[in-house]
Every structure is written in structure tokens, then in C-alpha cells.
Amino acid sequence: MASADPKSDLRRALRAKRRALTATEQRRASARLAANLSRMRLFRVSRRIAAYLPNDGEIDPGDILERAWRMKKKVYLPVLSRLRHDRLWFAEASPGMELRPNRFGIPEPVVKASALVRAGELDLVLLPLVAFDERGNRIGMGGGFYDKSLAFLRYRTLLTKPHVIGLAHDFQRVDRLPVDPWDVRLAGVVTDEGVYTARS
């Protein structure tokens, strides 16, 4: 019987594929990703950058975080909203800071609510994904956290920030993805093999 959600089978297959990577393969992919992203002007000029801690085989942006700190950039990590549980806020992160698992088991910075910022205060958001196409469409894990937290970007006319870039293994690229009205389009995707700028 076919899945009622056309994204479900693709999500299941690609999640399994990235979880099957060895630790060595993941480390190599992370290093290549960092090299590709660090060459981008957008990364070099951004001062406030959000990334994530890898989960479920996601490509690890750890090398990028290290580069960002060395370049004196401010690095932020997502934190689930304590009021609206389908939204993300962002907390400034530093090497060795205290982390605590959220309800999904993903570590988050331990900070006061007053220290959290919204996505609109960032220059660059680097987010994980399960699949992407070259038009800037993505499939996430299915919770819609990033789409809801970045929904304001769909209506912007003058806003230029944040720029939103997906990070992925190159094998997560597909020809074309189904798009829902609430999906937030990416400016591009960086993988371990290259950089894809979203095209119409």
C-alpha cells in the first residue's frame, strides 16, 4: 500500500542511509563540508551564525563551529520554545558549555530564557535536512520546527536576514521534491561534495 505522505518513504530511506555511515565516513564528510562552506562569502561575512548538533546521522557541522569561533563569530544553537513547543529559539553557544537533552534527546545549551534570540536576529542559519533539491526545497524530520520558526521569511519584502542554508550529505540530493505551502525555501545547500545555490 502506498504511503499517504509522498515524503514519508523518501524520508525513511535517506535517514537509514545516513545512519549507516561509519564514524570515519562522518568525520571525513564533516571536514569536506567545512571546507566547502568556509569558502562561501556568505559564511565569511556573517557575524551571528546558527547551526545545530547532529542527530540521527545528520552531517556534523562541528568543524564549521570551530572555524566560526576561531574567526570570532557568534555561534548559536537551537532551543525548543518553552511556551510554544513547535518553535525554535536560539542560544549563543561556546566551547564546552553546559548542554541538556531536550524532549527528543537532542542536547541544547542551558541558558536563561532572557538569553534566547529569534531567528530574525541572526545573519545565517545553517539547518539540517533529510532531502533537498536544487530549487531550494527541503524535507526535514517532519516536525516542522524550522518551517514554523522561519515562516516570516515567506512574507518578507525588504528583510535580508537571516540567510538560510541547508547542510547535508551529497547523497541526500534528489531531482525534485513535493512542496507544501508552509515550506520555507533555502537560499542553497552545502554538502560534503559541493555548493548548490537555489535556482528557480
Q: List residues forming the annotated binding site.
A: 7-11, 53, 58, 138-146
> CA-to-CA distance for 165 and 51, rounded, in angstroms?
10
Residues composing the chain: 200
Q: With both helix axes pointing from N to C terminus, report the angle between 62-70 and 23-38 in degrees, rounded to the nearest 10.
A: 40
CA angle 199, 142, 114 (to 5 degrees): 95
Binding site feature residues for ATP: 7-11, 138-146
> CA-to-CA distance for 146 and 140, rounded, in angstroms?
8
> CA-to-CA distance for 9 and 12, rounded, in angstroms?
5
Binding site feature residues for substrate: 53, 58
